[in-house]
Amino acid sequence: MAKSFSLPGLGILLLPETAPPALSGLALHTHLRLHLRHPDGRQTATIASLEEIAGPDTPETRTLLLTEPDAQPVLSGTEVWWAGEEEPADC
């Protein structure tokens, strides 16, 4: 993960270093169960929604939005792992 941004009222947006190909075939707003491996070695499990962003000079990019109420900012360099598990949309 390259950067994270807090979006008040929505969650924490995670921007990837490179576009993850595994996410390209999934529908937007799909909820995924993730494992985060922080630079200090700590590991946490969380839920994220698959989103897409674009800017005037940048192509559309798939991103992850941590949507749990207690989501905290994530440091650059954190590894984000998805084991293929989806969560119901009402989580």
Q: How far is CA 45 from CA 11, 25, 57, 60, in A?
A: 15, 23, 34, 27
Task: Give the pLDDT confidence of 39-63 residue by residue, as tens digits.
Answer: 999 999 999 999 998 888 878 889 9
Task: Give the pLDDT confidence of 72-87 residue by residue, as tens digits.
Answer: 889 988 999 987 877 7
* CB distance 39 to 25 below 8 Å: no
Domain boundaries, given as residue ranges, for the chain: 3-85
Q: Which pTM was predicted?
A: 0.85
